[in-house]
Amino acid sequence: MKYIVQGGLSETGLQGTIRVPGDKSISHRSIMFGSLAEGTSHISGFLEGEDSLNTLRAFQAMGVEIEGPTDGKVTIHGVGMFGLKAPEKALDLGNSGTSMRLLAGLLAGQKFDVELSGDTSLSKRPMKRVTDPLSKMGARVDTAEDGKPPLKIIGNQTLNSFSYQMPMASAQVKSCCLLAGMYAQGKTCVTEPAVTRDHTERMLKAFGCEVTVSDSTACVTGPAKLIAADIDVPADISSAAFFMVGASIADGSDIVLLHVGINPTRTGVIDILKLMGADITTFNQQEVGGEPVADIRIKSAKLKGIHIPEGLVPLAIDEFPVLFVAAACAEGQTVVTGAEELRVKESDRIQVMADGLQALGVDARATEDGMIINGGEISGGTVHSQDDHRIAMAFAMAGLRSTGDIHIEDCDNVNTSFPGFAELAATCGLSIKVLNE
């Protein structure tokens, strides 16, 4: 599948009031914790994208009765912490690194053996960052060459609680260790070098698990028990980010995004855009299921280049593909440092974005841990997303400022996080065609 976005500089920008799909991170965790809980959990706002559906299918394969999703509603009949059953074959997690890393922690304490596999992209992603701490807890996890998937988890191991100083800021690694800690005796603590998203800690509390957080350390006490809960999944700020940037860079824009999750560990994209001069306001703030949500209004603005503070990088790590597009449209130079984590996402997002921006005539230079972008004109051209959903959507929004048409190859994986993206963007004013090739 490919996108063709018509250039020619939009005069009306993005308009309307929309709700983007549910938060992917929270959708994953709702299935995991609901399955391990005692009782029946009801989920609303569930993201019906391939990544979170792969998590749902994995738990069905392990004997959990799950109804839906139907219009974002899912009913999970929990089996308790030790109620999962050995699947008949390897659990195929598709493109989802979150599924693989969190499931590695959850399944390390089970009585049965299980294999976790994924698609070509996931099979290239580093897993030693989770298998190393798991082995320190007493888990047995075999990997392919260089610590890459598939993961073969050997069951019936005794897990030991421990304290772990994470070498990198990664919510997936932190969550993996905490989830394994639920199966260990005593307190497992994880200290991170920089703040990362805390959906695991918040949702475990919602399911009745004892979790303590102090400064940069989160602890869970095992053996743990989860009690069924009802979860309302807010709209995903990572998906909302494409419309935040699109509305900011296109003249005449005025758009409202409804019920967006504004967890403070995820709002780096808003903070960065505001530092660049974006016109963004939040209103109707409330808390739903332990997660803060709000409506967000974005109007077009003249963005300026900045040196993005490294402290904000982990709080916006998934939003950088489209932030690079914002930088390309800003006046002056934008410098990103401390973002080496982008090189081990669904693609090498630093290099792939730099290549794509250069193909569109943008002065962009990849560095080891980020990028240097001098804002200016975006021309038409062809870019390759390398099967990375966020890169495909980022370049689609670049079409709002391009002087010619942008052809975006390899867009099938957009459905992993944002089913219906092109259709929703078109209703707001983006001139986008989808070609199924």
Q: Known catalytic residues?
A: 318
Q: Reduce the DSSP state of residue 395 to 3 states and report it.
A: helix
Task: Report how far residue 431's alpha carbon sits from residue 186's, in angstroms, rounded to the nearest whole number.
Answer: 56
Rounded Cα–Cα distance for residues 158 and 65 (Å): 27
Contacts of 132 (CB under 8 A, 6+ apart): none
Compute the 3-state secondary structure of the chain and give helix, strand, coil in percent, each to the nearest 5.
35, 30, 35
For residue 73, what are the β-bridge partners?
70
**Residue in 173, 161, 280 with CA at minimum distance from that of residue 221:** 161
H/E segment holding residue 198: none
Is 368 exposed, middle or buried (CB count within 10 Å of its CB: 0-12, 13-18, 19+)? exposed
Spatial CA neighbour of 105 closest among 36, 23, 195: 36
Rounded to whole angstroms, the Cα distance separating 161 from 319 reads 34
d(CA 78, CA 396): 40
SS3 283: strand
Instruction: State how far the Cα of 255 lies from the Cα of 426, in Å rounded to an integer.
Output: 13
The owner of tokens 């738990």 is 59
Rg (CA), the chain: 21
Ramachandran sector of residue 131 (left: φ over 0; alpha: ψ -120 to 50; beta: rest): alpha
CA-wise closest residue to 320 among 369, 264, 374: 369
What tokens appear for 178 in the block?
A: 């905490």
Q: Count each helix (H run) and each strand (E run) in the chain, helices first.
A: 12, 23
Helix boundaries (H) for 183-276: 199-206, 237-249, 268-275
